[in-house]
Structures are given as structure tokens and as C-alpha cells.
């Protein structure tokens, strides 16, 4: 979906090597080999000629991020409303220009808001509660057997190369009904990782009713909203959920399985969790 006229950009690296000293708690230090550190950079999302958001992200899978972010932010209602994505590099980050079909652009300009991005925040720039993006209607999808969750958790460990290198990123994965891990996206921000995964699924034509989402981060309400807007009926989180995440999952019909470990998990919403 990247525009053919997109400017060429230098090769993007998601990690860099930094030196340092190993510190012992008795105060002693010793030299340490350079270690990989996750790259965090600014990405300016632009619709038409109007800047919309500056998000701090890992500069990998930028097009996936732009598409997933556009959907979960409510800028578009369907991926087909995006004409193309062009990525330009600047000394201080990237400018990502998303071209929308006329109707989508007019709708967006009517509800445009400013968003100052943070790595961990999902509501920066929201001026009042009415501006919070919310999924509408209950999600429908096939029930997933618990064994699929176990399979996905086991497989995901080997599908996070950036985390293995840096120990500093989150992952979001799309898994089929049997627990086979398909698309995986990583980022320093948990929301960004999920948006990237959603964008990748949209580009690949994957039906959200055909499987479930697996995330390695804690599950706040925005993660439920994003999954529901995408159309995923089941979300599995390695970490714990918040109270609002559970409430929104129940209201939207999302099966929420969290604190997922190799030996089991907790169902907070869905079958046996209501």
C-alpha cells in the first residue's frame, strides 16, 4: 500500500549497540561488552496536509503501524479507505503521510484532534471524555480451546527477535484457532505493537474472526478497544488486566484471558469468566 512515489529512506534499524559499565551493588564496576538497545523515534502521522499525531515508536513495520493506527483511532472505518502510505525520513524521525479516499478525509477533518504521543499512554491529547475512541457493538467470533493458548504462548517465545536482543519491547501476535502464531509485531510501546499487528493483518486480508490476539504486555482498556475495533473476539495477555479492561471486554463480548502462563491462565471475561 506504500505509494509508488514515496521517497527512498535509509535502511531502518530497530536496535543499536551502546557501551557501558557493569555495576555491582557493592559499588564496583567493570567493563561490559556493547549491548543492543531498542530504538525509539518520533513518527509524525499526517492525513492530507494536516499533521495528526506524533507517536514514539520503534521504526520497524511503519506502514503496518500507520494502517492499524488509522483504524483503531477511528480515522478510517475500513482499510480500503486508505489510498496509500508514504514514509519520509528526517534527522529527528519520520513523517508518514497517509492518503485517504475523499469521503474518509472529509470525515476525518470533521473530527480531527491533536495527539501528543507517548510510549506508554493511550489518551494523550484527549481534551474530554467524549473524545475517547470506543468500539461499537459486541464482537462475534468462534470459541477458542484452551490448548490453543498454550500452543501460542510456547511458540511466541521464539518469534520475538527484537525482545531477545534488547529485552525492552512488547509483542502482539495474531494466532489462528489452533494456536499457530502467524503475524508478530514488536515495539517499545504496547499500543504500537498491537496497531502494527492489526495493520499487518489488514494488509494480509486476515479475518479477525478466524483466531485470537496474543499480547505480552499488561492489558489496559485501550488494548481491548483496539482488538474489538479490529474485530477480534478473543484477546490473551501474558500480563494482568485493569478493571476497566475487564469491564469493557464484558460489554463488548470480548473473551479476555490474562495472566497467561505455560501452566494456565485466568478467564476474566467470556465463557466461565462472566
User: What residues contact 181, with CB distance under 8 A and at least 6 apart?
Assistant: 152, 155, 156, 159, 173, 174, 175, 214
Distance CA 152, CA 143 (A): 15
- What order do you get walking across the sheet with 181-187 strand by strand? 181-187, 170-176, 211-215, 234-237, 255-261, 264-269
Per the structure block, which three cell numbers stand in for 65?
503501524
Q: How far apart are CA 66 and CA 44, in angstroms?
A: 10
Which of 21, 121, 124, 175 is catalytic? The answer is 121
User: CA–CA separation, 16 vs 4, rounded Å?
Assistant: 29
Residue 251 to residue 224: CA distance in whole angstroms? 11
Would you call 87 helix, strand, or coil by DSSP?
strand
Smallest CA-to-CA distance from 235 within 162, 152, 160, 159 is with 152
**Helical axes 221-230 vs 62-72, angle rounded to 10°:** 90
3-state secondary structure of 66: helix
Distance (Å, rounded) from C-alpha 84 to C-alpha 230?
Answer: 19
Active site residue 201: no
Nearest to 207 by CA among 181, 231, 173: 231
Which residues are marked as active site? Answer: 121
Amino acid at each position: 500500500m506504500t505509494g509508488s512515489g514515496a521517497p527512498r529512506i535509509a535502511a531502518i534499524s530497530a536496535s543499536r549497540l551502546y557501551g557501558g559499565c557493569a555495576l555491582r551493588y557493592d559499588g564496583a564496576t567493570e567493563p561490559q561488552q556493547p549491548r543492543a538497545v531498542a530504538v525509539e523515534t518520533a513518527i509524525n502521522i499526517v492525513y492530507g496536509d494536516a499533521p495528526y499525531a506524533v507517536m514514539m515508536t520503534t521504526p520497524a513495520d511503519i506502514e503496518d503501524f500507520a494502517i492499524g493506527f488509522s483504524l483503531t483511532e477511528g480515522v478510517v472505518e475500513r482499510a480500503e479507505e486508505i489510498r496509500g502510505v508514504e514514509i519520509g525520513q528526517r534527522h529527528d524521525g519520520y513523517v508518514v503521510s497517509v492518503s485517504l479516499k475523499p469521503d474518509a478525509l472529509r470525515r476525518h477533518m470533521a473530527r480531527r484532534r491533536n495527539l501528543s504521543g507517548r510510549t506508554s499512554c493511550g489518551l494523550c491529547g484527549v481534551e474530554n471524555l467524549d473524545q475517547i475512541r470506543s468500539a461499537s457493538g459486541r464482537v462475534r467470533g468462534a470459541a477458542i480451546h484452551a490448548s490453543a493458548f498454550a500452543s501460542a504462548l510456547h511458540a511466541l517465545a521464539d518469534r520475538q527477535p527484537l525482545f531477545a536482543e534488547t529485552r525492552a519491547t512488547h509483542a502482539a501476535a495474531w494466532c489462528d484457532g489452533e494456536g499457530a502464531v502467524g503475524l508478530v509485531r514488536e515495539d517499545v510501546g504496547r499500543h504500537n505493537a498491537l496497531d502494527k499487528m492489526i495493520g499487518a493483518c489488514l494488509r494480509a486480508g486476515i479475518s479477525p474472526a478466524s483466531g485470537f490476539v496474543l499480547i505480552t504486555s499488561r492489558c489496559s482498556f485501550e488494548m481491548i478497544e483496539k482488538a474489538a475495533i479490529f474485530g477480534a473476539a478473543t484477546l490473551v495477555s501474558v500480563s494482568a488486566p485493569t478493571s476497566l479492561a475487564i469491564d469493557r471486554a464484558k460489554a463488548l463480548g470480548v473473551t479476555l484471558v490474562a495472566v497467561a502462563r505455560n501452566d494456565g491462565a485466568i478467564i476474566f471475561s467470556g465463557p466461565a469468566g462472566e
